[in-house]
């Protein structure tokens, strides 16, 4: 994908803010626990299972304990390269919740399975699940955050995840559309016009007498780029309020921005909700926009030439 603004000054953001997810994706897939910790973790998990009367725990060779809750044996299973969507609650063994999708409007986390985007213990646990399954994963530290402490998770912690596999898709089209429609519903936006590309166009100010931003025209646009959580990652107001100039249809900006501006006239304003395929796709943009991120742009066409 093309860079949106070659000279834009982006603010660095934590990955969790970009995808709407939490600690599940903020640490590397670490496997640095020493044999001593592995033995200690195994003892801790064995005691936890016994103390909590868990009789159906399935210990894996990796040290992970898989506890099925709901099983749909005939349903689809995750395979490498497919996008999976999950609801989850992450806890320390003392019951402290350190992260959960319920803390973010119960929006599922979506990621490409088999690409080390999440903790190793999560990946392995999902390999034992079907679409619609629920399970508890008891994860030794070497398959979690290892010696790298994370917010509210001390180093070398054994952790528990309650997981529900709610979606398996070949790409991000369905998860992205779900995220956008949830956003529209949550914010009571009823005027959104979905395009065949998957772009959502929300008109704000119309000007029937204005010159259309037709293909081949040079437009000047004021913009504010945001994530679904409202965090602004770039805006013309951060750059002296100088409008961005580009040729409509010339491939100079990301596809969703190009398409959305092309639906406007001079003097008009709109909000554009871009699925990730029409934004930065699987590549993302530097340290600011994570791969497969839905974006929002508030735009105003100030000139058409």
Residue 35 — φ and ψ, nearest 5°? -55, -35
- Which pLDDT score is estimated for 8? 32
- Domain-by-domain residue ranges, the chain? 31-169, 173-304
Write out the DSSP string of 19-55: HT--GGGTS-------HHHHHHHHHHHHHHHHHTT--
Give residue 185's pLDDT.
Answer: 96
d(CA 250, CA 245): 12
Full-model pTM: 0.80
pLDDT tens string, the chain, 305 residues long: the values are: 344 443 332 222 223 333 344 556 544 444 444 446 899 999 999 999 999 999 999 999 999 999 999 999 999 999 999 999 999 999 999 999 999 999 988 889 999 999 998 999 999 999 999 999 999 999 999 999 998 877 789 999 999 999 999 999 999 999 999 999 999 999 999 999 999 999 999 999 999 999 999 999 999 999 999 999 999 999 999 999 999 999 999 999 999 999 999 999 999 999 999 999 999 998 999 889 999 999 999 999 999 99
Length reported for the chain: 305
Structure confidence at residue 9 (pLDDT)? 23
Residue 40: its pLDDT value, please? Answer: 94
Round to whole Å and give the CA distance between 214 and 108.
37
Which pLDDT belongs to residue 205? 97
pLDDT of residue 304: 98
Residue 99's contacts (CB-CB under 8 Å, 6 or more residues apart) are 22, 23, 24, 88, 89, 90, 152
On the 0-12 / 13-18 / 19+ scale of CB atoms within 10 A, 118 is: buried
CB 184 within 8 A of CB 200: yes
Among 125, 175, 152, 169, CA closest to 27? 152
Identify whether the C-beta of residue 12 lies closer than 8 Å to the C-beta of residue 126.
no
| Intrachain domains 31-169 and 173-304 with the same fold | yes
- One-character DSSP codes across 200-229: EEEEEE--TTSPB--TT-EEEEEEEEE-TT
Tell me what pLDDT residue 25 has.
56
How far is residue 23 CA from its own chain's centroid? 12
Paired tokens of 140: 């030794």
Residue with tokens 């529209």: 184
Yes or no: say if 166 and 99 are a contact pair by the CB < 8 Å rule: no
Strand partners, 166: none
In this predicted structure, what is the pLDDT of residue 22? Answer: 55
Tokens encoding 124: 């392995």
CATH assignment, 31-169: 3.10.50.40
CATH number 3.90.1300.10 is the correct assignment for the domain at 173-304: no
Are the CB atoms for 67 and 58 separated by under 8 Å? yes
Do 83 and 110 contact (CB within 8 A), yes or no? yes
For residue 54, what pLDDT is reported?
Answer: 98
CB 233 within 8 A of CB 13: yes
Q: Say if residue 200 is exposed, middle or buried (CB neighbours under 10 Å; 0-12, 13-18, 19+).
A: buried
């Amino acid at each position: 994908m093309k860079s949106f603004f070659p000279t834009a000054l982006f603010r660095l953001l934590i990955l969790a803010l970009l995808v709407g997810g939490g600690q599940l994706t903020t640490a590397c897939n670490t496997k640095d626990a020493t044999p001593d910790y592995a033995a200690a973790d195994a003892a801790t998990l064995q005691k936890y299972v016994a103390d909590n009367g868990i009789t159906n725990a399935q210990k894996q060779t990796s040290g992970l304990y898989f506890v099925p809750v709901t099983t749909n044996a005939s349903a689809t299973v995750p395979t490498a390269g497919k996008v999976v969507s999950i609801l989850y609650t992450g806890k320390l063994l003392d019951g402290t919740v350190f992260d959960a999708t319920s803390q973010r409007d119960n929006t599922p986390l979506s990621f490409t399975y088999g690409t080390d985007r999440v903790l190793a213990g999560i990946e392995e646990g999902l390999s034992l699940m079907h679409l619609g399954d629920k399970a508890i994963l008891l994860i030794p530290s070497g398959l979690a955050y290892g010696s790298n402490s994370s917010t509210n998770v001390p180093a070398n912690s054994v952790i528990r995840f309650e997981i529900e596999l709610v979606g398996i898709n070949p790409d991000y089209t369905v998860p992205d559309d779900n995220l956008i429609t949830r956003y529209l519903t949550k914010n009571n936006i009823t005027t959104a016009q979905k395009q065949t590309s998957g772009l959502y166009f929300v008109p704000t100010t119309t000007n029937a007498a204005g010159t259309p931003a037709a293909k081949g025209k040079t437009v000047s646009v004021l913009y504010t780029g945001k994530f679904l959580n409202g965090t602004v990652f770039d805006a013309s107001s951060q750059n002296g309020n100088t409008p961005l100039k580009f040729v409509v249809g010339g491939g100079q900006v990301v596809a969703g921005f190009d398409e959305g501006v092309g639906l406007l006239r001079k003097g008009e304003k709109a909000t554009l909700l871009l699925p990730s395929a029409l934004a930065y796709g699987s590549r993302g943009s530097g340290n600011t926009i994570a791969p497969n991120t839905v974006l929002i742009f508030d735009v105003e066409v100030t000139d058409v030439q």
